[in-house]
Every structure is written in C-alpha cells, then in structure tokens.
Structure 1
Amino acid sequence: MKKITVYKSTTADGYTAFIKAKEFIQKHNLEYELNKLTETAVPKKKMKKFLYFYTSCNLTETLDVTEEEWRLLLTNKWYEKVLDIPEEDRADFVLDNANEAFRKPIIFMDYYDEQGCLNEEYEGIGTVGFNNSEFGLYIPKSERNYQLKK
C-alpha cells in the first residue's frame, strides 16, 4: 500500500508546484496527507533518506549533494547560505531549517505492508515540486495498466 504525504512550502514557486501536484493527485483519485512546512517539519530521518534518494547516493556512501542539486531544492536565499558553509555541514544545516529553506513542496511516497508497517527500505522516495514525468510513480499499477490499454 502506498501513502502520499505532501509538505507544502510557502514560496510562489512552491504554491504553483503544489497546485499542479494537487491537480494531478485529484485527477487520479489518489489520497494524500497535506502538511505545511511552516507548521510541520519533515522528520530528519526521512529527509536524510530523501536526500540520498534525490542525489542517487548509496546509503552506505557519504551524502554528496552537488551545488546544482542544492540550487534546485532550495530558495535562492538558502542556496547562497548553504554554499557559504563547509560541505560536510550542509545537509544538517538544511535539515535543521527545512521549513524555511525548500523552494517547492516535497512529496513522499511511503510503502506499507499488509500489516500497516512502513517499509523502511523505500522510505524517502519522493519528488520536489511537480514534474509530470516523475509523477507516474504515484499512480497505482492498476490505473497505469488501464491507461496503457486505453
């Protein structure tokens, strides 16, 4: 079972991306939980796993977020702040300030087994903002198959 959780940012880019994501989610009749980053922080463990997923780093490796990836993730003000601190401290700095730093909504897809337990192996899978090509992973397999047949 999949559960979608949206952490909405308050920036203009974030609002536009959230509206597009929300329209996609509603069009495909997907249930989701909405959290505002200003009110509910993303759990650090989940956010750290997301950064590994986002950067395609292996969990056994050192997390390496490039300047370009930081630029895409963060507001301009926070992007500049992040580049001013040592690389090894950047991820923790962003995680401590995630509610202010992220430019677009962060959308997670958590997988649960039949007993309702979170599959931690897939924790952190998600997207930042809305990209139509990436959002296919949120559509249930049965609906994807139906669309392909159609």
Structure 2
Amino acid sequence: MNEHNSISRRAFLKRAAGLAIGTISARGIYGMLGTAAAFERPALATPAARTREQYLVDDVATIVDNGVQVLLPPLYHEIITAKLAFDPDPAALFRAQVRLEHALQLVEAPYAPTPAGLTLVVGWGLPYFRKHLPAALVDRFMPIDLKYSAASGQVLTEV
C-alpha cells in the first residue's frame, strides 16, 4: 500500500463516525433507518384513492394484547409543528388553502394510504380556532371528549 494513501484504523473510524453523524443530522434518523432497511416498493399503477378523512390509514395491523385489540401504527412517523404566518384576507386564505391541498395531493399521490405508504395529517391547534373563527362556530362544531366531560363535569375540547 502506498504510504501517502494509507490511513490508520483510528483515523478511519473517526472519519466514519463523523460521516455517520453528519448523515443522521442531515437526513434525520428516519432517513438513515429507511436507507438501512430499504426495500423495493412496487410502483402504483394508478394513484391511490384517498378518503376525505385524513386520519384513516388503510390496512393497519391489529393484535390482541391482554384481551384488548390494539392497532399497530405505521413504523415511521414524524411530527412537525409550525406557526402560521398568513394574510387574514379571506381570498388570500382560500388561495393558500388551495395551494396547500394541491401540494399535499402531489406528495401523497404516488403512495398507498397504508402503513407501508404515506399518509400526511395536518392539524390545527385550539389557539387557531379561538383566534380566527367565531366563538359560536367553534363551540358548536369543536369535538368534545364526552367520556371525560361527563366524568369531570367540565367540557374538554379534543384538539
């Protein structure tokens, strides 16, 4: 081996560790795990049909644990929070909604809505509803945890 191209074992391991850490931080741990456990996914012949209910994931596996049926969620998931910065003009809000919906459809289209595919969920926090919608509308349509509310005597909004 040429002396100029040789590298000590210690130096090699340091560089390899640095490369691994860089890969994890740049792509995230899920990106690295996805590469390590990569497998061929057959391409969908047609775009997957999706329901309007964004929380539904098709073909979710279930197990029975101590007599209770448990849904097994997708293996990889990511939660990203963001704060909205937008023009409160109704026309601008409508255009932004259309652009967001189109972008989500574009990203989801090639994948099945299953644990092995891709399912995106967009949620809004209670402060959004309280700040940008009429209180009467929020009070009328906001989902409520009926079991907790009945037991505690206090209404708990499910957002």
After TM superposition, the score normalised by the length of structure 2 is: 0.23
After TM superposition, the score normalised by the length of structure 1 is: 0.24
By relative contact order (CA 8 Å, sep 6+), the higher-ranking structure is 1
Answer 1 or 2: which has greater helix percent.
Answer: 1
